[in-house]
């Protein structure tokens, strides 16, 4: 399994489409992080870029995000990537919490590019 996390510094970026880069975590059969890699972010908004296709080609099936617009959610889901919105904090810690089953999708979409939401766990 592979999990992508929009990242700024070492934290989950508050807005998917404006992140510095994506941290891609490879998860082993024991549900622990095996390795991580960095994928540069396209310079355009996430819902208008080809990032969903690129992530899918990398075998990403889950995206843990701060928040994003409905267009980005739809594009990612169309590519078979399950989205969990409302995450914040260190990307390694958030991913570990997800693997423990304590993170759920907030269900909220971004109506303003300044909005951010806390992780729903």
Query: What are the tens digits of pLDDT across the range 29-77?
Result: 999 999 999 999 876 554 556 899 999 999 999 999 998 888 889 999 9
Neighbouring CB atoms inside 10 A of 30's CB total 7
Give the domain 2-99 fold.
Nucleotidyltransferase; domain 5 (3.30.420)
pTM of the model: 0.85
Beta bridge partners of 2: 26, 60
Q: Apex CA 12: angle with CA 78 and CA 40, to 5°?
A: 70
Write down the residue that tokens 């970026």 correspond to: 13
Query: What are the tens digits of pLDDT across the range 92-120?
Result: 999 999 999 998 888 776 544 333 333 44
The residue-averaged pLDDT of 80-87 equals 95
Judge contact between 90 and 10, C-beta under 8 A.
yes
C-alpha radius of gyration, the chain, whole number? 13
């Amino acid at each position: 399994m592979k999990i992508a996390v929009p990242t700024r510094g070492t934290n989950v970026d508050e807005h998917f489409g404006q992140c510095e880069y994506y941290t891609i975590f490879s998860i082993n059969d024991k549900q622990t992080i095996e390795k991580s890699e960095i994928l540069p972010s396209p310079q355009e908004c996430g819902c208008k870029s080809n990032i969903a296709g690129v992530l899918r080609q990398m075998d990403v099936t889950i995206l843990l995000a701060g928040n994003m617009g409905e267009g980005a959610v739809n594009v990612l889901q169309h590519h078979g990537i399950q989205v969990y919105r409302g995450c914040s904090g260190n990307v390694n810690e958030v991913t570990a919490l997800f693997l423990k089953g304590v993170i759920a999708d907030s269900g909220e979409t971004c109506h303003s590019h300044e909005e951010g939401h806390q992780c729903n766990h």
